[in-house]
Amino acid sequence: MFKSISSNYIIKNVCVGGGGFISGIVFHPKIKDLIYIRTDMGGVYKREKKDTNWICITDMFSKDESFYNGALSIAFDEKNNGKIYLLCGKYTDNNSPYGRIYISDNYGYTFKWYQIPFKVGSNEAGRGMDERLVVCPEHPNILFAGSTYCGLWKSIDYGKNWKKVKSFPEEDINFLLFDKNLKKRLIVASASGNIYFSENNGLKWIKISNTLTGLAYRACVSNDNKIYFTFNDSKGPWGIKNGGVWKLDLHSFEWQRLNIPEDNGGFGGIAIFQNNEILVSTICRDENDEIYFSDNGGKNFKPILKNSVWKSFAPYTKTINPHWISDIKINPFNHKNVLFVTGYGIWETYNIFEKKVTWYFNNQGIEETVPMQIISPYKGVHLISAMGDIDGFVHSNLNKSPKKRHTPFKKTTLAIDYAGLKPKILVKAYNSAKPYGSYSINGAERWIDFKSFPYKAKAGGVKSIAISADGKSMVWCPVGADVSYSKDNGNKWIKSKGNVPSGYWIISDKVNPGVFYIYEAIKGFLWKSEDYGESFYIINSKLPKNKEKPKGDGMVDYEINCIYNKKDNIWLAAGAAGLFYSIDGGKKFNKIQTVNKAYRVGFGKNAKGCNYPVIFIWANIRNRTGIFMSQDMGKRWFRINDERHQFGWIHCITGDPRIFGRCYFSTEGRGIMYGEKK
């Protein structure tokens, strides 16, 4: 049985604030204070008025659309205020599908989409560059899109069909823009460093002669017919070692280098005021970037950020300097108002002309973290996370950004677990540096590094570590190593016996000490240890099979999990095969017939009068993919989200063992969500 209760259920973000790279800012050209931002893997947001929250306009993207939950470009139709185009797709490798154009006629409230004949890389090198999608100002049925590997493309029917512009001579395009002073002039910057103009919608091209080194990163056209460019030696947003800022006169086609301080690193965003004052951001300056201001057309620049005041609702931002400043924008309706992007969110000032500029971390509503694993112990704090880039947090208040991130800082942390009977004892694994793992004895308030790590380990790994129910043993399979165990808090690691395969996720029984499980999905085997990880054996060889091993991005559609308060109770979300459970430690599994497909499974506090925990699943039931809960071991299911709130890919789901009806789920680039009954 399946019934939707989403109207009686509230789903909100767990507050962190930002947490990921914002790759571009676009002000609506006609509507005051309407701003859109694109992210590399966390969707697209808009903000309609000053001091209001940002709203993600791509939350309706489903599991099957999660690949498109990163936008490489945003474009507007200047003759139709509500029409917005998104150029979407995360990667351009051989295994990735073609990109899509998403089109909205109502400012991003709903979208239709068309497949395009090339791939898009919103999470690849060059993603912080200027826009690669533009709408012709004079003929809005005509669109141009730049590919990073197969040239320039054109549509003459509002983005529905596309043809390659064969007259354009290069294949790798950095950005496109139309000249605001001569609207028929299309400007294209290639990755080779060349700049091209066309004044007849791409039929013919003029190559602008230049002897510059590097490639154009972003550009801005001034009111006096000049184009200002930032140039760098590589695409960024990482690895840029040098760059410069140049001005091109559109009458004489002469280049002039601006007198801006050039240190290590390069230059990202550039913005021009109406009176030709200039803002330029640096990029890749040892995670300590700067914004320079010129009031004399670029003859001299002065730094702004080093003398600024910073105000943030997110305490973790005090631990990070502004970096990856790929874009900076001036509000076209209020030139005092300026925003710039970073690798962890957006900063905004309401008066750029103050002697000491005040910047606000205005990321309310923006949640762009990738929490690979989350846990909800039955004692202590209700939620603890492991996240890419910024470690993870103890979330003592779901509606406020946590007071501090996990310390000491390790950056990308992709696995976390707690001891079921002693929940203040935890373990985690991270990727940044040896020894790749830590433990905590005080509920994640402080972490202590292991003294060693398994032989040949190269990184901590995704969902790769578990701790026994009594906290006496850890089992770990880091990247590149065999499954190993430690009984002395990571001082020494010993390879587990039994030829248990490496590269699969590990879980522990939360009640029965010494018991661990590994689901070898390719063969359909369940491996079990009953001696604290010293050895494993196959307890079940007849489980559903899956073609994929877990990947470094955590995106496989199966998992195994243990009930938090009952020993020997295991649930298997087996992807296309459905949902299964065992109550005898894995010897026998029963199929839940009401579920078509199941991808993630977790458990929360039981309903009144029931003695079994609530089951939460990310699954497909009656051809609808969503988040479901069951109070009766899977006989009846209630959907708790709706079609407009699907959040792309979900990495982890768990209930709260102390609050009936509450669940937490972590996403690929949209942070952590929590849901509960109204």
* CA–CA separation, 285 and 676 (whole Å): 44
Angstrom distance (rounded) from CA 646 to CA 59: 6
389 is catalytic: yes
Helix (H) or strand (E) holding 278: strand 278-283
Query: What's the rounded mean pLDDT across residues 131-152?
Result: 97
DSSP state, residue 32: T
* pLDDT number for residue 147: 98
Measured CA to CA, the distance from residue 616 to residue 302 in angstroms comes to 55
pLDDT tens per residue, range 515-535: 999 999 999 999 999 999 999
Contacts (Cβ under 8 Å, ≥6 apart) of 517: 506, 507, 508, 509, 526, 527, 528, 529, 560, 562, 570, 586
Task: Assess whether pLDDT exceeds 80 at residue 214.
Answer: yes
Per-residue burial over 537-561, b = 16 or more CB atoms within 10 Å of its CB, e = otherwise: ebbbeebbebeeebeebbebbbbbb
Q: Name which of 419, 404, 411 is nearest 387 in CA terms.
A: 411
User: What's the average model confidence in pLDDT over 648-671?
Assistant: 98
Task: State the Cα–Cα distance between residues 138 and 145, nearest whole angstrom.
Answer: 17
The 10s digit of each residue's pLDDT in 320-366 is 999 999 999 999 999 999 999 999 999 999 999 999 999 999 999 99
Among 233, 289, 389, 417, the one annotated catalytic? 389
Q: Pick from 540, 532, 611, 533: which is nearest to 574 by CA?
A: 540
Contact 215, 174 (CB under 8 A): yes
Between CA 651 and CA 492, with CA 586 as vertex, the angle to 5 degrees is 70
Computed on alpha carbons and rounded to an integer, the radius of gyration of the chain in Å comes to: 26
pLDDT at 3: 52
Label residues 478-501 b or e (16+ Cβ within 10 Å = b). Answer: bbebbbbbbbebbeebeebeeebb
Q: What is the pLDDT of residue 2?
A: 45
Q: List, for residues 57-106, the tens digit of each pLDDT value.
A: 999 999 999 999 999 999 999 999 999 999 999 999 999 999 999 999 99
H or E element at residue 328: strand 328-331
pLDDT in tens, 418-459: 999 999 999 999 999 999 999 999 999 999 999 999 999 999
The CATH number fitting domain 17-360, selected from 3.30.450.90, 2.130.10.10, 3.40.50.1370, 1.10.3470.10 = 2.130.10.10
Q: What does the mean pLDDT of the chain come to?
A: 96
Nearest Cα to Cα of residue 269 among 210, 223, 338: 338
3-state SS assignment for residue 251: coil
pLDDT of residue 4: 54
Average pLDDT over residues 278-297: 94
Task: Say what the pLDDT of residue 286 is.
Answer: 85
Task: Decide: helix, strand or coil at residue 47.
Answer: strand
pLDDT at site 677:
87
Answering whether pTM is above 0.75, one says yes
**Over the stretch 378-424, which tens digit does the pLDDT of each residue have?**
999 999 999 999 999 999 999 999 998 999 999 999 999 999 999 99
Examine domains 17-360 and 371-677 and report if their fold is the same. yes
The domain spans of the chain are: 17-360, 371-677
SS3 604: strand
At residue 257, what are phi and psi to the nearest 5 degrees?
-85, 130
Catalytic residue among 40, 289, 482, 509, which? 40
One of 2.130.10.10, 2.60.40.10, 3.40.50.720, 2.60.120.260 is the CATH number of 371-677, namely: 2.130.10.10
The pairs formed by 524-528 with CB atoms below 8 angstroms and a separation of 24 or more are 526/560, 526/570, 526/586, 527/498, 527/500, 527/501, 528/585, 528/586
